């Protein structure tokens, strides 16, 4: 495994000691257990349904999750979305979808649900190695928005893709792109405060941190102050109406940094 590179094996092994396999076929868990044996004391936790998989995820806090597609058993897309929007400690854990299908619809559906990697059944040890390296040694930026929660979709299935957008710089983009994306998420989250309040507030909190980092990078004190004000607002305990008014005021202050030609394109959010 991993061409016998002991250092690589050790680095990967440290990040996959607890593996959840949500698959209606118990043979999948047995196969993965056999193929992961070289990584040392990996614990495999099988679950045959979404309900049992979610309960197991809460109980064991897996470092890696395998799911399958609805057509072959468990609907991994539903489970992935549920985990991503949950309060589970493992909500950001890498998720790999294994399926006998490889249609464009399923692949893009997996990407948009928050799946990290996609792997066909039957898979070889080489297929598994590439996915494990991708999710453990090449971490992807995390997107905390309203419509989408998960790893940056612009590097989906990085184990296979070798095109021009493979570069790390494309995952998050330039400072200007980071600013634009964060502001678009803030705007979308503010609009979702009534329809999806929990995720909207989570997205606002995450983007407040991101915008402060962007402000630090470009040494823009006004942006730093506006982002810090939003962050403080998210941590405040003001009563309902007052807190909402204060929050929207902080969002409006940040919108002043949005470029006039930013049309809110889809991007990674």
Q: What is the CA radius of gyration of the chain?
A: 20
Residue 113's CB is within 10 A of a number of other CB atoms, namely: 23
Per residue in 14-64, pLDDT tens? Answer: 999 999 999 999 999 999 999 998 888 899 999 999 999 999 999 999 999
**Measured between alpha carbons, how far is 141 from 153 in angstroms, rounded to an integer?**
9
For residue 3, what pLDDT band results from cuts at 50, 70 and 90? low
Per residue in 91-133, pLDDT tens? Answer: 999 999 998 888 889 999 999 999 999 999 889 999 999 999 9
Which among 135, 141, 146 has a CA at the least distance from the CA of 177? Answer: 141
Instruction: Write down the pTM of the prediction.
Output: 0.85
Per residue in 227-266, pLDDT tens? Answer: 999 999 998 876 677 888 999 999 999 999 987 656 554 4
């Amino acid at each position: 495994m991993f061409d016998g590179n002991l250092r690589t094996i050790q680095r990967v092994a440290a990040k996959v000691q607890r593996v959840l396999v949500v698959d209606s076929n118990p043979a999948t868990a047995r196969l993965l257990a056999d193929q992961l044996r070289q990584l040392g004391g990996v614990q495999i936790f099988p679950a045959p349904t979404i309900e049992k998989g979610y309960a197991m995820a809460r109980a064991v806090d897996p470092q890696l999750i395998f799911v399958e597609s609805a057509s072959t058993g468990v609907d991994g897309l539903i489970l992935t979305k549920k985990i991503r929007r949950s309060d589970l400690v493992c909500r950001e854990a890498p998720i790999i979808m294994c399926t006998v299908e490889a249609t464009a619809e399923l692949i893009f559906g997996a990407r948009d649900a928050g799946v990290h990697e996609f792997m066909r059944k039957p898979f070889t040890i080489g297929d598994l190695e590439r996915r494990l390296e991708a999710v453990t040694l090449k971490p992807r930026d995390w997107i905390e928005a309203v419509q989408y929660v998960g790893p940056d979709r612009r590097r989906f299935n990085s184990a296979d893709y070798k095109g021009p957008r493979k570069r790390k710089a494309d995952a998050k983009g330039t400072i200007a792109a980071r600013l634009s994306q964060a502001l678009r998420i803030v705007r979308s989250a503010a609009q979702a405060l009534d329809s999806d309040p929990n995720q909207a507030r989570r997205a606002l909190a995450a983007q407040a941190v991101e915008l402060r980092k962007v402000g630090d990078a470009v040494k823009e004190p006004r942006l730093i102050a506006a982002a810090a004000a939003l962050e403080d607002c998210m941590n405040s305990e003001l009563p309902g109406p007052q807190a909402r008014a204060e929050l929207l005021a902080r969002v409006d202050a940040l919108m002043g940094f949005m470029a006039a030609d930013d049309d809110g394109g889809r991007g990674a959010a």
